[in-house]
Amino acid sequence: MTGPVPLDLADPTVVADPYPAFARARAAAPVQWHEGLRLWLAFTHAEANAVLRDRRLGRIWVDRSPADRFAAFNLIHRNALLEMEPPSHTRLRRLVSAAFARGHVERLRPWVAGLAGRLVDELVERSAGTEPVDLLPGLAEQLPVAVIAELLGVPEADRPLLRPWSNAIVKMYEYQRTSERETAAERAADEFVGYLRALAADRRRHPGDDLVSSLVAVRDAEGDRLTEDELVTTCILLLNAGHEATVNVTANGTLALLRHPDQLARLRADRALLPAAVEELMRIDSPLQLFERTATEVVAIGGITVERGQKIAALLGAANHDPAVFTDPASLDVGRADNPHVSFGAGVHFCIGAPLARVELQAAFGALLDRTSALELGGEPVRRPEFVIRGLASLPVVLAP
């Protein structure tokens, strides 16, 4: 398993734009060993899709050590849907889906659209067609955090706590991280767990029309219900996985439209393209680039053998740019009809929050189109220095009413 490293995740050029590196690696072999990461990487759509769907490849959570240093971080992953396999995954997903099925997403649709409109109006007022304003804090970060908070029934005064907690926790998913970031992630996890235990206790006493109340009350046909740890972990997963992806699709997608003004004009002229455009913006610059699985038995995939206990990762961004599946994959096409992107994952771990994310993204991009006559770059965007979760730190734009 020796040979050149197929992808240097520490290379600033790769972090800035990984897609040329993906294309070079894909041309060499569909699956390659990464000695530094000690795992296989799947670069093609077919192999990445197989990694996501093959039941012999599972999410096998192993607690971070030392256990006393990462107690809260381990707790919120040990009980998470994303880190479970059937039958535990089946049971937990059934309960969470039953709570979601109570109409929470559709209930929020008009509220989300209204909030997106107000946020864009504020940006337009500040910019007035001349002054650059940052889309990240003004829209991309505010909208999904507010939506998840509204969904969960988090009081207005507590909502500013959520994104800093989430941001600190997800830094643990990067391969190059400092001890300081690990400490910050554990502190955030501990504070978040404590907060949600208190919120769940309040909803037991005073249930409301929110998802936490539904998660507290939900039972399946056998009378099974969520443990408190499962409930807390599910809420944290919804915020971390749900809002991080939506923040980054909003920012990455807006930047893609600004760099393809013909497609922005096309979308302005034909608003019926908006649902297809959202899928294309998720494909063109994936918010999550890498998803690991572990072999529970020997698996042959892409011409290689993954031994039991070895890890293999689907490179979602590479799969979404595979020319064998996507015509002219580097080009943005807001009307792309055949778009089997894997940004929401696939198989049993397909994103449970996908319907909510689509509501948020259609609202955000719809508001940008409806409430501006012009939208332009107002300066050089700053990209976050992480590879796994791909996003921007700032996106200056100029918006005209």
The Cα-based distances of 49 to 276, 319, 322, 343, 350 in angstroms read 21, 8, 12, 11, 11
User: Can you identify the CATH homologous superfamily of domain 12-400?
Assistant: Cytochrome P450 (1.10.630.10)
- Cα 378 to chain centroid, rounded: 26
The amino acid at residue 344 is F
The pairs formed by 179-183 with CB atoms below 8 angstroms and a separation of 24 or more are 182/69, 182/70
Inter-residue contact 278 to 347 (CB < 8 Å): no
Residue 2 DSSP symbol: -
* Integer Cα distance of 281 and 361 in angstroms: 10
User: Residue 185: what pLDDT?
Assistant: 94
* Integer Cα distance of 184 and 285 in angstroms: 28
Residue 115 DSSP symbol: H
Closest CA to 135 of 263, 252, 260: 252
The amino acid at residue 323 is P
The pair of structure tokens assigned to 256 is 């893609």
- Enumerate residues 6+ apart whose C-beta is below 8 A from 390: 18, 248, 252, 285, 286, 287, 288, 289, 317, 384
User: Residue 112: what pLDDT?
Assistant: 95
In the chain, where are the structural domains located? Answer: 12-400
CB atoms within 10 A of CB 141: 22
Which helix (H) or strand (E) covers residue 197, if one does? helix 179-205
Handedness of CA 149, 150, 153, 156 (dihedral sign): positive
Extract the residue ranges of the chain whose pLDDT is less than 70.
1-5, 102, 220-222
pLDDT, one tens digit per residue, over 32-89 is 999 989 999 999 999 999 999 999 999 888 899 998 899 999 999 998 887 888 888 8
- Give the largest CA-CA distance in the chain: 61
Inter-residue contact 7 to 21 (CB < 8 Å): yes
Inter-residue contact 188 to 163 (CB < 8 Å): no
Strand partners, 295: 57
User: Residue 49: what pLDDT?
Assistant: 96
Q: What share of the chain is helix, strand, coil (3-state, %, to 5)?
A: 55, 10, 35
The pair of structure tokens assigned to 118 is 């107000």
- Enumerate residues 6+ apart whose C-beta is below 8 A from 110: none
Rg of the chain over Cα atoms, rounded to whole angstroms, equals: 21
Backbone angles phi, psi at 226, to 5 degrees: -70, 140
pTM (2 d.p.): 0.89
